[in-house]
Chain A
Amino acid sequence: MTARSASCPNCGATIEFRWSGAVQTICPYCKAVLVRRDVDLEKVGMVSDLPPTSSPIQLGTEGRWQQDGFVVVGRIVYRYERGGWNEWYLRTTRGGGAWLSDAQGDLAISAPASGDAALPAASELKVGQSYTIDGTRFRVASLTTAHYAGVEGELPFTTWDRDESLFADLDSEGTADELRFATIDYSDESPVAYVGSYVELEQLAARHLRRIEGW
């Protein structure tokens, strides 16, 4: 991954891309939402400062998962009526994308499901129903309608034109010893499934973690 640079059409600052394929980025200086159009960046809006977080992850954090290195390039902060979480967008050294979700210190990492699972339409979803995704039987544990409470960094899609999205969280059936989880994201017209597992920070061999005062 070669870092490419461009200048911010809003403030003129040089923007270094961690991921050359980013569709949207936020200017770290003026907080302008920039969308890539061919070679140029177009300013489509502004974002406000992110609320202070206690997450140890930050843009630029590197680590390893399933024999593949990754770097954190973007972040979406989701909020819903009973809480919120950070969704960190990862680019892997093999050229894939993955999401590291960080909710109350519980980390889970997931990548797009490889198969074409027949995913239920949003209107058909019910807690307790089971679906097979990538050969694993998953049961819907919860449905969450969340809104974007903040974004930073580079993302594979645009967020400025969206407000809410529906997520279905699923846990694998069977014994607790090999628990896996899946998320179905209903942000787009057709749902997208992500499959992954719960991880501990230690398991990710993370570098460039955020340093938090006093810890």
Chain B
Amino acid sequence: MSAPAVASLSCPQCGAAIELRTLDQALSVVCASCGSILDARDPNLHVLQEFKARQKFTPQIPLGTRGTLKGKKWEAVGYQVRGATIDGTTYYWEEYLLFNPYEGFRYLTQYDGHWNDVQVVKAAPAESMSGGRPTVTLHGETFKHFQTASAETYFVLGEFPWQVRVGDRAQTRDFVSPPRMLSEERTDEETTWSLGTYTPGAQIWSGFGLPGKPLQARGVYANQPDEFMPRAGSMVKRYLLFVAVIVGLILIRLVTASRETVFATNAAFFRPAAPADSLAFVTPTFTVRGRTANLEVTTEAQVDNGWAYFDYALVNEVTGTTYEFGREVSYYYGRDSDGNWSEGSRRDRAVLPSVPAGQYFLRVAPEAQVPTDFLEYRIVVRRDVPTLTPYLIVLALLALPPIFMALRAWGMESARWKESDYAPTSDDDDDDE
């Protein structure tokens, strides 16, 4: 035999039928028809408060709906709309009271499409300060103070294990450690703490079999878990793996690159003051063998507080293919109040990315401005030399997604705290300082 789960009563004010779902747990029950708040303890249900809400609200989870939340069955038995007025604007949120005779009570709260699954905690958490802000610690988890507000009850429906009234006021303090939130509610009679867990609206919709779709959540809620941070974290991990692979490839390249010298001049001189035309020359033909690889042209000029510019053309003797490029070498040094200084380098390295095998010569047109009459220079051409640039470009490109994700995480975090008591001061305030 099983015991009845509901008691059927009627409203003394309007006569409408009232079902009591929490039986002896109920202290007040609201007549769904006339809105009177009745004393559920009194067999005659005397009126505690006549309907005085300024506005009627309709619960998104109709009272009496049963659903499953985290594997447990619950029935929606009570509904409150509460609000807090901050800087002249009232922000409303909904609170659903859930009941299971074997589990007791539980709450769901909803604000701007953000849902929390809330349970009362019996003990007050330990309070302390961190970085000038209050924190509380419960079971080893530290929660940061988010907001202090005054909550007022605007609308009630269903039944409650306490004497509810429209106009009830409580001082609230919220502390967050996403996805959890510890909230304190203080009235003259008592102080209660509750622990909320951020719950996607879709989970409540499917758990309670509600029609349609939940309201799209707007903004970032106090204890909304940061979805970007863990993603940024896994991206960084993947990126570090890429770095390791690329470092491996660089090492392989350093070992396998042939660095074969295909041409080198001896140390030679030219006279910078001579007419430009007379300085241009052509090198002997040299052979580039093997597969198509890069070709490195090293220009070394013994410039002292001066510069030299080499206009190059690498010409394939057979096909006539020409690679034109210009290189500058400059080196300055001296001594000032900070000590010795120097700038530039006497050696320059240019890499032509892919040059096929063949017979080549260089056409060279040098010019220079140096304090000496003659300038010593040397040109060395090597094929298949290791270069880092392409690897660095790949690494830089691969770094973009994790950086982007980290920026979004940072953006979410600042959006979260913008709604708190610790919102950064506005730009106007900054200008005044």
Contacts and interface: CB of A to CB of B under 8 A. Distances in A.
Interaction A to B: yes
Interface string A168-193: 00010001110100000000000000
Contact of A52 (B4, B103, B121): B4
B139 interface: yes
Contact of A84 (B1, B3, B7, B24): B24
Interface stretch (B78-86, B122-130, B343-351, B418-426): B122-130
A171 B193 CA distance: 14
B105 A104 contact: yes
Interface in A74-117: 77, 79, 82-84, 86, 104-106
Q: Which of A105, A177, A201, A212 has the largest number of chain B CB atoms within 10 A?
A: A105
B5 A106 contact: no
Given A54-B22, A84-B41, A212-B5, A176 B124 contact: yes
B103 A201 contact: yes
A105 B103 contact: yes
Given A54-B23, A82-B163, A176-B138, 6 more contacts: A83-B161, A104-B104, A105-B105, A176-B123, A201-B102, A211-B3
B161 to A, nearest CB: 4
Contacts of A53: 3, 23-24
Nearest to A108: B122
A171 B190 CA distance: 14
Contacts of B161: 83, 104
Contact of B27 (A83, A142, A171): A83
Nearest to A84: B24
Contacts of A177: 138-140
B25 interface: yes
Interface in B105-146: 105, 120-126, 138-140
A106 B22 contact: no
A215 B124 contact: no
B172 interface: no
Given A79-B41, A106-B122, A54 B1 contact: no
Contacts of B24: 51-55, 77, 84, 86
Contacts of B103: 105, 201
Given A83-B27, A176-B138, A201-B102, A213 B123 contact: no
Interface string A128-149: 0000000000000010000000
Contacts, number: 88
B100 interface: yes
B27 A82 contact: yes
Contact of B101 (A54, A83, A86): A54
Contact of B104 (A86, A105, A214): A105
A83 B162 contact: yes
A45 interface: no
Contacts of B278: none
A209 interface: yes
A213 B23 contact: no
A52 to B, nearest CB: 5
B3 A212 contact: yes
B2 interface: yes
Interface string B243-278: 000000000000000000000000000000000000
Contacts of B139: 176-177
Interface string B333-374: 000000000000000000000000000000000000000000
A82 B161 CA distance: 9
Contact of A56 (B41, B101, B126): B101
Given A84-B41, A209-B102, A215 B73 contact: yes
A65 interface: no
Contacts of B2: 210-213
A198 interface: yes
Interface in A12-28: none
Contact of A179 (B23, B105, B123): B123
A176 B23 CA distance: 31
A192 B64 CA distance: 42
Interface string B5-43: 101000000000000001111010000000000000100
B25 A104 contact: yes
Contacts of B121: 176
Given A104-B161, A105-B105, A201-B102, A213 B27 contact: no
Contacts of B189: 82
A215 B139 CA distance: 32
A142 B104 CA distance: 21
A213 B125 CA distance: 37
Contact of B5 (A82, A83, A215): A215
A84 B4 CA distance: 20
A175 B23 CA distance: 35
